[in-house]
Structure 1
Amino acid sequence: MSLALQALVNGLISGTLLAVPAIGFTAMFAVLRFPNFSVSGIATLGAFAGYAAYAAGLELIGSLVAAFAVAGLVGLALDRTAHLPLVKQGALPAAIASIASGLVLENVIRLGFGNDLRGFDRPIARDLHVGDIRVSPQQLETMGLALAIMLAVFAALAFTRIGKAMRASADNPELAALKGIRPQRVAMIASFVGMGLVGIGGMLLGLDSSIDPLTGARILLSIFAAAVLGGLGSVPGAVLGAFLIGIAEELSVLVVGSPYRTAVGFLAILVVLTARPRGLLGERAF
């Protein structure tokens, strides 16, 4: 029972961190209308940008801002030059191009930083114990940052003009255009913000463990599974899906072992697409 409770707590922490890039992925899908798999490379880029900023002396918040800015700008450049021109031919060509972009980014990072594991040099603190449950203060801090970012995203979507424009474009782009909303501008904002959130997500996951050029590739399936489980295009669904995937992956370790935890993402995609193709909360419920 104590092992199951520890796995549940670990799953909640993992799900919180996974929710940030999952929100970015599903928000881009809602507005841009294609699954952007270059998030694997962008998550890695954000992790390394944040790592470089932290190593240069920036505080944690400043490093997260650096990760957001670098990932957002590079992701926007990739979308404008390589992905969005192909959307007119359908979502599939754009998705395939995004896979290629992610692979290129990962190899560029490998050339620049090498293949070694790197970790954020954070102060070591004693774990907190509640009975048999153990949580580190660093995990709580990282989880708190992720929750704060999610709340900021929900508030921006609900109360800002840009957020309302993004929701309108996701719901009905033709009607939004008739109301004076410029779809191209909204698409660029969605790309920058979505990629920035993916970059922050990569750094947050790096803070929880370590980073290397395959950081984004290892979480790509979990990000996609969380978005599909909640409903592609649904921001609340992405959060729900991330928590469910995080908990399921951690609990699965008790049954099948850690080498097979990634299979949980495949299984979740298969079950959801078979039983409920629109996801738990439906599509584009921005």
Structure 2
Amino acid sequence: MRLILVSLLISINLSFAVIYGEDNRIDYVHMANDTQNLANSSVAIIPKNKLKLIGDYFYAQAKSVGEVLKLCESEPFIHQPQLANCSGVLVGDDKVLTAAHCIDKKSIHRTQNDYYIVFGYVKNQEGIVKAFHKSQVFTLKKELYYNFDPTFKDPVDLAIYQLDRASGRSPVKINYNIDKNESLFVLGYPMGIPLKFADDAEILSFSNKSFRHHLDTFSVNSGSPLFNAHNELIGIHVRGTGLNSDRTSDNCNIWGRGDSSKDYGEANTLKVIKNIL
């Protein structure tokens, strides 16, 4: 079974990721208070051409995920915008951790200079945030760490970037030691829509550099932080298997469903970056 990077750096039709069992993704507005606090350290990596600065605000310019994926009207989140290209998390006042493949150093359109780092891309009590104050939007000033092998001989797929200024937000707490039996949850932007929480998963298999899981993740969840039950960051989601969407007899698509006997998501452990942070 081939591994597929779960960001929009490759064609949506070729990107793989899935739902396992019931779809338990929820929006920021429905998260518990402690999870919302963690979510405030989550970042969306958004192409600069999808945000337009007018005055003090950046305004979103994006189609809905339902339009892009041709989702059936009965599917959740279909009217939400597809804005982000990857996920990430704040690990220092001015440092962001993500999947390395989210930034393509050899591409003329996907370098660190082509993206904004955005806080607060969520659905809150007022609705979906589509305008971001300048204080929420950052650029990537400097690459601090980059490790990605496209052949997957080395499973590490992590990058750390310094922001153009201090964020003024609290970074997440990191636990470099993983309990193989602990429960997991993820915060990220599946298919580029506003931040989602998903849980009800455990570590399936484990090595010193990565572990597999059955969290509901899709393309653009690349770089998503995975937390344990103590709200500690223990991994970064980097790839997975399974289709983003499945065709129905009604000539529309539904969110992809995975086969738990063969499909999985994969995350990197964080010991490799311990001395950098």
Higher fraction of helix: 1
Q: TM-score range by the shorter chain?
A: under 0.3
Question: What TM-score, normalized by structure 2, do the two folds share?
Answer: 0.25
Structure number with higher strand proportion: 2
